[in-house]
């Protein structure tokens, strides 16, 4: 039996402001820092040990990992940054307030942009300053690899190669992995691991800063999964994520 631990980053400044974030690089709030620290404490109390950590190239996920490792007293663990673990790109919605968009376009439209499997938000223009095509962290990528918008289907298409080429082989080698990523990159992994349908993935919400533990068999199929921590607090955190896009 193998284990995999996933953590969605703690609350960011744009989570707090209820804004679409995507690939925009924003800070953690003090609450987000506390959530990341609590994730580390939960993992330490449960006796988890890790060999290597993976995260995106966005600082809210990176700092979440750092704070969790600090609580685990494992800041010396190797960390691998992979852009494929980035949040879903929200295109022209990036920076806009979710509730404002719901008032303008309706709750159903915003829910579709946020949660549908194959409907992307409006795309950015290639030269839009909110885009990332001139960002040095993506300099080695082809322009078409840096999206102008994404639906969850697109996010799955870039996350799964990371799983198949990097994460799953590491787990099979016996390495104990801690992955700090984002709501939609984790949704992509959960969809694949749990075999969630395109329709049902709409209702899945990943709470901030709460470790999600998978136990996997030799074929990397889930035996069980659970969030660490208080069940009521976990339910409230997931509900808060679900309510972000409502007017």
pLDDT digits (tens, 9 = 90+) for 3-43: 999 999 999 999 999 999 999 999 999 999 999 999 999 99
Q: What percent of the chain clears pLDDT 90, i.e. is strictly above it?
A: 80
Report whether 28 contacts 10 (CB < 8 A).
yes
Task: Determine contact, residues 53/69, Cβ cutoff 8 Å.
Answer: yes
Rounded to an integer, what is the distance from CA 235 to the centroid of its chain?
18
Average pLDDT over residues 128-142: 93
- pLDDT value at position 174? 96
Band of residue 229 on the pLDDT scale cut at 50, 70, 90: confident
Straight-line distance from the first to the last Cα atom of the chain, in angstroms, rounded to the nearest whole number: 44
Catalytic residue among 9, 67, 89, 182: 9
Instruction: Name the 3-class secondary structure at 19.
Output: strand
Catalytic pick from 11, 38, 67, 87? 87
152-185 per-position pLDDT tens digit:
999 999 999 999 999 999 999 999 999 999 999 9
pLDDT recorded at residue 247 = 52
pTM across the whole model: 0.93
User: What is the Cα–Cα distance from 179 to 240, expressed in whole angstroms?
Assistant: 22
Residue 89 catalytic? no
Report the distance separating Cα 205 and Cα 27, nearest Å. 21
Judged against a pLDDT cut of 80, whether residue 226 lies above it is answered with yes
Backbone angles phi, psi at 20, to 5 degrees: -65, 125
pLDDT digits (tens, 9 = 90+) for 198-207: 999 888 999 9
Active site residue 87: yes
What the block records as the tokens of 103 is: 């008032």
Q: Is the pLDDT of residue 245 over 60?
A: no
Question: What does the pLDDT read at residue 242?
Answer: 66
Q: What is the 8-class DSSP label of residue 51? A: S
pLDDT of 95-116, one tens digit each? 999 989 999 989 888 888 887 8
User: What was the pLDDT predicted at 50?
Assistant: 98
Would you list the DSSP string of 152-176?
A: HHHHHHHHHHHIIIIIHHHHHTT--
Q: What confidence tens digit (pLDDT) does each residue in 62-97 have?
A: 999 999 999 999 999 999 999 999 999 999 999 999
Radius of gyration of the chain measured on its C-alpha atoms: 17
Cα–Cα dist 53/45, whole Å? 19
């Amino acid at each position: 039996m193998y284990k995999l631990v996933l953590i969605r980053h703690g609350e960011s400044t744009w989570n707090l402001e209820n804004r679409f974030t995507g690939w925009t690089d924003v800070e953690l709030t003090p609450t987000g820092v506390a959530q990341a620290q609590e994730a580390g404490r939960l993992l330490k109390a449960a006796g988890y040990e890790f060999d290597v950590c993976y995260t995106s190239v966005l600082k809210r996920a990176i700092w979440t990992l750092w704070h969790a490792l600090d609580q685990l007293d494992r800041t010396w663990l190797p960390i691998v940054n992979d852009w494929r673990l980035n949040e879903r790109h929200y295109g022209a919605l990036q920076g806009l307030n979710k509730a404002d968009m719901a008032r303008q376009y309706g709750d159903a439209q915003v829910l579709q942009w946020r949660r549908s499997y194959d409907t992307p938000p409006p795309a950015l223009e290639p030269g839009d300053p909110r885009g990332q095509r001139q960002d040095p962290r993506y300099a080695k990528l082809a322009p078409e690899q840096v999206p102008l918008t994404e639906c969850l289907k697109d996010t799955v298409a870039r996350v799964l190669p990371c799983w198949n080429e990097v994460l799953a082989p590491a787990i099979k080698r016996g390495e104990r992995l801690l992955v700090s990523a984002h709501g939609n990159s984790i949704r992509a992994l959960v969809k694949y691991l749990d075999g969630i349908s395109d329709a049902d993935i709409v209702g899945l919400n990943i709470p901030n800063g709460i470790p999600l533990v998978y136990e996997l068999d030799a074929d990397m199929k889930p035996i069980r999964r659970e969030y660490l921590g208080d069940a009521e607090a976990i339910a409230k955190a997931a509900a808060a994520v679900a309510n972000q896009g409502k007017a």
